[in-house]
């Protein structure tokens, strides 16, 4: 039985220790924000944080995770208020959305290590593949999140999907019962 911590909770997987971490997270823990992309570690859709490092979860086994701390996109922020998530929405990064959780996790790890990354630092750290080619917006979102985290910029929370930003900020009059 393999024991480690996922999203600040101790877990024990009764699975073959050679099971890729990706499948333990998705199938046994129902943490489906970590995506299966290529299965060869090339795309980065399955990126998670392991002990402060961005790791492609399709390339490591649960046996290798024994005693370690794993963070998935689900635990980055329950209410989408992490600076990277807010910058992602503010810069309109998502298109198809497939690579987003892995990109966001890689960016969050980068910003933990480097509060003021250059574009070269971002390019070196974010090796994930975006099928839609939104790399310029990804780079700008990471820069924006870095500024916000340093206190150099402001981020406002993005409204939930499907809600027009104008509708999210308007005041709704209180309902009064009819007589």
For range 82-108, the mean pLDDT: 93
pLDDT digits (tens, 9 = 90+) for 113-156: 999 999 999 999 999 999 999 999 999 999 999 999 888 876 65
**Pick from 14, 38, 73: which residue ends a domain?**
73
Contact criterion met (CB below 8 Å) for 144 and 164: no
**Residue 176 included in any domain:** no
Same domain (yes/no): 95, 56: no
Going from the C-alpha of 70 to that of each of 3, 35, 61, 83, the distances in angstroms are 11, 15, 12, 20
**67 and 92, same domain (yes or no):** no
pLDDT of residue 170: 43
Please report which confidence band the pLDDT of residue 112 belongs to, taking 50, 70 and 90 as the band edges: very high
CA distances from 132 to 28, 162, 163 (A): 30, 21, 23
Q: pTM (2 decimals)?
A: 0.84
Q: What is the CATH number of the domain that holds 46?
A: 3.10.20.30
Cα 79 from Cα 160, distance rounded (Å) = 10
Domain closes at, from 73, 92, 113: 73
SS3 annotation, 119-131: HHHHHHHCCCCCC
Query: Structurally, how many domains does the chain consist of?
Result: 2
Does 171 map to a domain? no
Domain span holding position 127: 83-150
């Amino acid at each position: 039985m393999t024991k480690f911590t996922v999203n600040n909770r101790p877990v024990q997987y009764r699975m073959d220790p050679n099971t890729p971490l990706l499948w333990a997270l998705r199938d046994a823990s129902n943490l489906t924000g970590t995506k299966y992309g290529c299965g060869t570690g090339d795309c980065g859709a399955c990126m998670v944080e392991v002990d402060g490092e961005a790791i492609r979860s399709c390339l490591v086994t649960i046996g290798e995770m024994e005693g370690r701390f794993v963070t998935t996109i689900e635990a980055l922020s329950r209410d989408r208020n992490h600076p990277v998530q807010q910058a992602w929405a503010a810069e309109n990064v998502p298109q198809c959305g497939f690579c987003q959780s892995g990109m966001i996790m890689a960016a969050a790890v980068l910003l933990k290590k480097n509060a003021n990354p250059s574009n070269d630092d971002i390019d070196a750290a974010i090796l994930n593949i975006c099928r839609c080619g939104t790399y310029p917006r990804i780079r700008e979102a990471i820069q924006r999140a870095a500024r916000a985290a340093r206190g150099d910029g402001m981020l406002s929370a993005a409204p939930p999907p499907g809600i027009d930003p104008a509708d999210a900020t308007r005041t709704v009059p209180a309902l009064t019962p009819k007589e």
